[in-house]
Amino acid sequence: MARHDPTSRILQLALVMVALVAVPTSGQVLKKPAQARRVTVPGVGTRARVFHQFGKISTIQGTSATAEGQATVGEHVVNAIDFDLPAEALAHTRPGQPVWLSADGQLARFVLFPINVPDTKKRVGRGPGKGSFWVQTKNVRLSNTGIINGEVKVLSEDALAGFTGAVAVKVSDADTNDLTEWLQAGCWGVNQRSGREETWSVKMPEDTALKARTVTLKLFNSPCGRDRWNAAMKKAELAAEVAGKFVEVYAKVKAATGGS
């Protein structure tokens, strides 16, 4: 009769326990923070490239764009580059948008508009009946025309009280410099055990919007008065922050100086 090795049995049980711990239960939702996506240029490979701000798009003709600026590539100073716009960028790319050039001068990149913010839901308080107060945003997007718009749902689950839900939005550039202050997207009141859905829109200067890269939202509980709204907004935590997608394309030097 074969003998069972107790050490082997203990090892098998330990491996099963490790496997069970490693697999998330059905109730767990694993989320990653929203990150900028990047288009991979065919044939370029996956090696990392260093990009420096070059200038801005000066003209667009059909599917071709020209950017003017200044960057040192090897022994040359590049003053202008040409590149083709991919299909996804044709409708929403405009002159004035910043352009970055890789250190080797082979690739250019720019931000793809519109910048879309993931749908966000946040509990912003509780009522005296212990029910939750919710603010939810959907379909929030920033266009390079300077319009930021979206949808909001404000909901009180409390049996005794309603509240006023508020949304604030801020825009910054690729270097994380603020392009706007916190803008008041709106505030909407509801009664106990009730909700409402609304659309909202705010406008920032068009030439400033062309420099945008990141959109940040705060969702909170606040009256509509500006002073009280500001006080509540400053205490509110960030609800969502998303960086726009960079599009990378092959660059062709159009004008340069220096070198032999």
- Residue pLDDT tens, the chain, 260 long: 444 455 455 444 444 343 433 333 333 332 333 333 344 444 344 456 899 999 999 999 999 999 999 999 988 999 999 999 999 999 999 999 999 999 999 999 999 999 999 999 999 999 999 999 999 999 999 999 999 999 999 999 999 999 999 999 999 999 999 999 999 999 999 999 999 999 999 999 999 999 999 999 999 999 999 899 999 999 999 999 999 999 999 999 998 887 65
Confidence at residue 49, expressed as pLDDT on a 0 to 100 scale: 82
- Tell me if residue 234 falls in helix, strand or coil: helix
Phi, psi of 251 (to 5 degrees): -110, 145
Angle value at C-alpha 154, between 235 and 239, nearest 5 degrees? 40
pTM: 0.79
Confidence at residue 17, expressed as pLDDT on a 0 to 100 scale: 40
- Tell me if residue 252 falls in helix, strand or coil: strand
